[in-house]
């Protein structure tokens, strides 16, 4: 009997444990699911914050060095980047006015002063300042008043950008128009005299 009571108590305990274990099992599954979901959310937040806080390396524009002061080059570089792709480029631009000044200095150092000034006069700013100073730029071996006459006669050869170019071209156009009007009148008179002379004879 003692064994039966003990066995009965054991079965009740097992049933109780099974009921309890089942509830514990369900509770354990629920807690595990919550823990996994929370952990996943935490990992997702961690990954998201890592992505947001750690930007990719930037695209750096290449350095274009110009260590020689006699080279009239300017280095320009630029870069663009987004979250996926970065592009960088660089190139060199030639400064034509710098080259003109350097060449002019070389000509001057060789004693070719008129050639040096003539080379500088290819720039409209220099040409205008020389004209304003009363010393017109040399051209085709002409200097001084002879050069001034040449520039007035051929204003289309004045560097573009100089205000004198437009003024001289306007004056030349008006002179050409007046000349053509005078030519037409002279031609009409000559034709009238010729026609009258032929009719009289």
Which of 139, 196, 128 has the alpha carbon at shortest distance from 166?
A: 128
How confident is residue 106, by pLDDT bands cut at 50, 70 and 90?
Answer: very high
Q: What is the residue-averaged pLDDT of the chain? A: 75
pLDDT at 53: 53
User: What's the Cα-to-Cα distance from 144 to each of 58, 152, 172, rounded to whole Å?
Assistant: 60, 13, 21
pLDDT attached to residue 185: 75
- As beta bridge partners, residue 87 has 80
**Same domain as 111, residue 186:** yes
Give the single-character DSSP code of 142: B
Chain centroid to CA 134: 39
What sign results for the dihedral spanned by CA atoms 51, 54, 57, 61? Answer: positive
187 and 103 fall within a common domain: yes
Domain residues for the domain of 111 are 97-200
CA distance 142 to 145: 8
Q: Are residues 6 and 70 in the same domain?
A: no
Q: Which residue has the higher pLDDT, 61 or 98?
A: 98
Rounded Cα distance, 33 and 15, in Å? 26
User: pTM, whole model, 2 decimals?
Assistant: 0.50
Task: Note whether 179 and 117 are same-domain residues.
Answer: yes
Query: Is 85 found in the same domain as 125?
Result: no
2 and 14 in a common domain: yes
Task: Give the pLDDT band (50/70/90) at residue 166.
Answer: confident
For residues 101 and 196, state if they share a domain.
yes
My answer on whether 169 and 87 are in the same domain is no
Residue 23 has pLDDT above 70, yes or no: no
Residues 114 and 45 in one domain: no
Counted domains in the chain? 3
Q: What's the pLDDT score for residue 48?
A: 46
- Say whether pLDDT at 47 is over 50: no
How far apart, in Å, do the first and last CA atoms of the chain sit? 176
Higher pLDDT, 105 or 196: 105
114, 196: one domain: yes
85/117 same-domain check:
no
């Amino acid at each position: 009997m003692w064994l039966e009571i003990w066995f009965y108590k054991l079965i009740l305990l097992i049933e109780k444990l099974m009921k309890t274990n089942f509830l514990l099992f369900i509770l354990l599954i629920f807690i595990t699911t919550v823990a996994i979901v929370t952990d996943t959310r935490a990992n997702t937040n961690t990954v998201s914050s890592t992505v947001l806080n750690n930007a990719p390396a930037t695209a750096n524009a290449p350095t274009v060095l110009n260590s020689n002061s006699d080279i009239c080059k300017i280095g320009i570089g630029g870069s663009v980047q987004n979250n996926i792709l970065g592009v960088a480029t660089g190139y060199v631009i030639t400064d034509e006015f710098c080259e003109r000044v350097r060449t002019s200095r070389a000509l001057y150092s060789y004693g070719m002063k008129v050639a040096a000034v003539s080379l500088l006069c290819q720039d409209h700013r220099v040409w205008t300042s020389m004209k304003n100073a009363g010393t017109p730029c040399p051209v085709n071996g002409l200097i001084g008043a002879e050069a001034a006459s040449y520039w007035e006669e051929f204003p289309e050869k004045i560097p573009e950008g100089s205000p004198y170019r437009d003024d001289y071209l306007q004056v030349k156009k008006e002179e050409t128009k007046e000349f053509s009007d005078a030519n037409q009148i002279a031609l009409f008179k000559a034709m009238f005299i010729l026609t009258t002379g032929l009719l009289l004879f």
